[in-house]
Amino acid sequence: MSGAWHPGDRVPAEHELMVEFDCSRMTVNRALSALADAGFVERRRRAGTVVARPRRQMAAIEIPDIEAQVEAAGARYRLETLSVDRIDGAAAPAVARLEGAAEVLAIVCRHHGDGVFALEERWINLDAVPRAAGVDFGRVAPGRWLLDYVPWTEGDYRIAAVAADPRLTVPADTPCLSFERWTSRGGQTITYVRQVFPGGFALTAGGSG
């Protein structure tokens, strides 16, 4: 972190650090493995450990659900559900990647804080989450419900700037942030959501390189 070691520099071998720090090889290995996981060094058998050449920037972002975002901004949250429909999987838009699903729940809602905070269009795979059919999404936001009740293992995200959607009731020339997310578990898509935020929001993140 001080920058004293430069990318490509050789890090002493485990047995040398073991002597230098008077500890066992297991302890050295755990430390170096942690550095390797964090991307600070690269390790290869026989070749040894070298300071990593940062090739890309990595960051861990934390995505609070919308209700938490609104409340963090000091406003009171209100959900307005525009429609909830049970449709055939083939009727879902292709972008949702839900072609294989027999039944899909299609939800459109608005999140309000101090004004309209976000528009959300969501498709839930009822084959993967049958319980969702019995939930009153007029009262609980789909994102919150899924977060609480449906574990997931893979997520894909896409962030882009788009023009305002008329359903946001903001001036048509307001630049908006589009946040898309595909959530799946074991290769099966659980839900696809597209959220549109007027103006944007902050993603706090950390990282190193």
Contact of residue 77 among DNA, a copy of itself, none (CB under 5-8 Å per partner type): none
Q: Which does 208 bind (CB under 5 to 8 A by kind): DNA, a copy of itself, none?
A: a copy of itself
Nearer to a copy of itself, 103 or 165 (CB): 165
Mark the segment that binds a copy of itself (CB under 8 A) among 78-86, 94-102, 130-138, 200-208. Answer: 200-208
Q: Applying CB under 7 A, does 78 fall inside the site for DNA?
A: no
Q: Which is nearer to a copy of itself, 73 or 91 (CB)?
A: 73
| From the list a copy of itself, DNA, none, partner contacted by residue 133 (C-beta under 5 to 8 A by kind) | none
A 10 A CB-CB count for 172 gives 9
User: Rounded distance, CA 78 to CA 108, Å?
Assistant: 14
- Virtual CA dihedral for 30, 34, 37, 42, nearest 10 degrees? -80
Among 117, 145, 192, 197, the residue binding a copy of itself under the rule CB under 8 A is 197
22 touches DNA (CB under 7 A): yes
Neighbours of 42 (CB within 10 A): 17
Size of the site for a copy of itself (CB under 8 A): 54
d(CA 92, CA 173): 28
The answer to the question of residue 31 lying near a copy of itself (CB under 8 A) is no
Number of residues located near DNA, criterion CB under 7 A: 22
Least CB distance to DNA at residue 61 (A): 25
Q: Which does 44 bind (CB under 5 to 8 A by kind): a copy of itself, DNA, none?
A: DNA
63 binds a copy of itself (CB under 8 A): yes
Contact 69, 203 (CB under 8 A): no
- Decide if residue 23 touches a copy of itself (CB under 8 A): no
Question: In sequence order, what DSSP letters do the residues of 113-168 get, joined into one string?
Answer: ESEEEEEEEEEEETTT-GGGGG--TTTS-HHHHHHHH---SEEEEEEEEEPPPGGG
Sequence letter at residue 68? A
Contact 196, 186 (CB under 8 A): no
